[in-house]
């Protein structure tokens, strides 16, 4: 089979569609008397079923065979695709190896199924060649990724030579990356069969920094540090702390969206997973992306020791932290670790105890304070959000609702303002 001759783009065992199609193509090269027509026909229909299932699950459209091949290429992590992600063309013998494989993919891509369909008396293959998705949503990718893969498949169709196809693919790796880190913005950590796995988060809220009304100084400190990081300059770990509902977590989501195109990826990790931090860093340290390891609502009780894992990873171990990794955390507490009353009374050890606990905060070079707004600021936030949402209320009516809302929903905060607008929009729609 053609795919057995691949030297870089090794095919996963689960890619039965490609393996079966390649096998059928080989059989078509043999004399008719050597072909098992019944077996071939069953196999071909099985491949058609798989491609239609692919179209439904992935949201692909157009030529599903081409989309299927394009999807394999954008997810195949090898020495070439990892080297060219974000940076583009590289030099060396590896280019000859890639071109060898792309020649094979070009043959698969350009293959005419006419003779096979005629010989096997296949019906319905035109559905595969011009598939119209019943729903724009994908169960595997978000809308942006799905569109890029379908567009890549169409561009391959315009490439006349394997060299042109290789250049198109390399441009894709440069612009979007490869595999899960290339196609997705954010990730979570899971442990499976004793191994640490970095798993994509398929849907992340489309928050922008402009959506966070006010907080211009905190937002600028955050973006200045993140800008330096994605530009390859020196940058610091960040601690965003302050009152609940003031936009700390939303700010992290916003920079995730804002800097994805420039190679930023965010990995969310929870306190009980800190022991896996070294495994996570080992998987990402040699990639061409910039990674923020994100910890939301971080704080520790006096009996919890997970913060020691975090301290060792941020700074203090023998191995230097990779330059493409930063730690960003949000917390309602400035010092992260609670102090007990007994510790305050123990005058002999209080200094050592406080130094131990404050040393964690000291490892965040940038600390950014998010403060609850005053009444006037809260009202301005409500007005701005109402205007953006097109809410049909007079200012007097709006302020009356805002005053009632803050009294029953925990005071003044950006979160309370957003919840109020959602509530009023719901009433308006009814």
Give the CATH number of the domain where residue 307 resides.
Answer: 3.40.50.300
CA 296 to CA 315: how far, in whole Å? Answer: 20
End position of a domain, from candidates 183, 202, 235: 183
For residue 85 the two structure tokens come to 């992600």
Q: What is the 3-state secondary structure (H, E, C) of the chain?
A: CHHHHCCCCCCCCCCHHHHHHHHHHHHHCCCHHHCCHHHHHHHHHHHHHHHHHHHHHHCCCECHHHHHHHHHHHHCCCHHHHHHCCCCCCCCCHHHHHHHHHHHHHHHHHCCCHHHHHHHCCCCCHHHHCECCCCCCCCCCCHHHHHHHHHHHHHHHHCCCHHHHHHHHHHHHHHHCCHHHHHCCEEEEEEECCEEEEEECCCCCCCCHHHCCCCHHHHHHHHHHHHHHHCCCCCCCEEEEECCCCCHHHHHHHHHHHCHHHCEEEEECCHHHHHHHHHHHHHHCCCCCEEEEEECCCCECCCCCHHHHHHHHHCCCCCCCCCCEEEEEEECCCCCECCCHHHHHCHHHHHHHHHHHHHHHHCCCEEEEECCCCHHHHHHHHHHHHHHHCCCCCHHHHHHHHHHHHHHCCCCCHHHHHHHHHHHHHHHHC
Q: What is the pLDDT of residue 292?
A: 97
366 and 379 belong to one structural domain: no
- The confidence score (pLDDT) of residue 284 equals 95
The alpha carbon of 19 is separated from its chain's Cα centroid by a whole number of angstroms, namely 29
Assessment of whether the complete model's pTM goes beyond 0.85: no
State whether 392 and 358 are in the same domain.
Answer: no
pLDDT given at position 37: 94
Shared-domain flag, residues 155 and 248:
no
Same domain, 241 and 268: yes
Count of other CB atoms within 10 angstroms of residue 318: 5
Same domain, 228 and 259: yes
Q: Could you tell me if 300 and 323 lie in one domain?
A: yes
Q: Among 355, 370, 385, which residue terminates a domain?
A: 370
The candidate with the shortest Cα–Cα distance to 263, out of 294, 289, 299, is 289
| Domain end point (choices 168, 183, 198) | 183
Residue 296 sits in the same domain as residue 393: no
Strand partners, 214: none
Same domain, yes or no: 264 and 338: yes
In this predicted structure, what is the pLDDT of residue 402? Answer: 87
Q: Do both 124 and 155 map to the same domain?
A: yes
297 & 394 share domain: no
Low-confidence residues of the chain, pLDDT below 70? 135-137, 300-308, 315-320, 334-359, 429-430
Q: Are residues 308 and 411 in the same domain?
A: no
The structural domain count of the chain equals 3
Task: Answer yes or no: do 334 and 398 share one domain.
Answer: no
Domain containing 333: what range? Answer: 187-370
């Amino acid at each position: 089979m053609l795919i057995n001759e691949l030297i870089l783009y090794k095919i996963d065992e689960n890619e039965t569609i490609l393996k079966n199609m390649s096998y059928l193509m080989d059989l078509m090269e043999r004399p008719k008397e050597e072909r098992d027509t019944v077996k071939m026909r069953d196999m071909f229909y099985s491949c058609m079923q798989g491609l239609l299932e692919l179209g439904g699950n992935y949201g692909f459209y157009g030529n599903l065979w081409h989309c299927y091949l394009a999807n394999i290429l954008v997810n195949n992590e090898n020495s070439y695709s990892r080297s060219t992600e974000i940076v583009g063309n590289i030099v060396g013998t590896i280019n000859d190896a890639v071109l060898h494989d792309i020649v094979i993919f070009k043959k698969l891509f350009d293959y005419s199924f006419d003779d096979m369909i005629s010989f096997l008396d296949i019906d319905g293959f035109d559905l595969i060649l011009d598939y119209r998705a019943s729903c724009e949503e994908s169960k595997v990718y978000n809308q942006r990724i799905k569109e890029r893969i379908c567009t890549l498949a169409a561009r391959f169709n315009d490439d006349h030579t394997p060299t042109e196809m290789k250049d198109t693919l390399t441009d894709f790796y440069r612009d979007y990356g490869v595999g899960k880190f290339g196609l997705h913005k954010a990730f979570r950590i899971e442990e499976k069969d004793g191994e640490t796995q970095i798993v994509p988060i398929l849907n992340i809220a489309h928050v922008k920094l402009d959506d966070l009304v006010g907080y211009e100084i905190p937002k600028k400190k955050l973006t200045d540090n993140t800008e330096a990081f994605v530009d390859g300059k020196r940058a610091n770990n960040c601690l965003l702390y302050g009152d609940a509902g003031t936009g700390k977590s939303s700010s992290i989501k916003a920079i995730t969206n804002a800097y994805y195109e420039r190679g930023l990826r965010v990995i969310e990790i929870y306190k009980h997973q800190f022991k896996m931090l070294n495994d996570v860093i080992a998987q990402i340290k040699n990639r061409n992306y910039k990674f923020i390891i994100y910890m939301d609502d971080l704080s520790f009780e006096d009996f919890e020791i997970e913060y020691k894992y975090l301290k060792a990873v941020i700074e203090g171990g023998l191995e230097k932290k990779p330059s493409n990794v930063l730690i960003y955390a949000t917390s309602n507490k400035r010092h992260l670790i609670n102090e007990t009353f007994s510790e305050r009374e123990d005058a002999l050890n209080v200094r050592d105890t406080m130094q131990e606990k404050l040393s964690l905060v000291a490892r965040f070079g940038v600390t950014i304070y998010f403060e609850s707004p005053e009444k006037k600021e809260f009202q301005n936030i409500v007005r701005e959000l109402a205007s953006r949402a097109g809410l049909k209320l007079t200012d007097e009516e709006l302020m009356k609702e805002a005053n009632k809302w803050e009294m029953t929903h925990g005071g003044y905060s950006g979160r309370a303002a957003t919840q109020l607008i959602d509530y009023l929009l719901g009433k308006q729609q009814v």
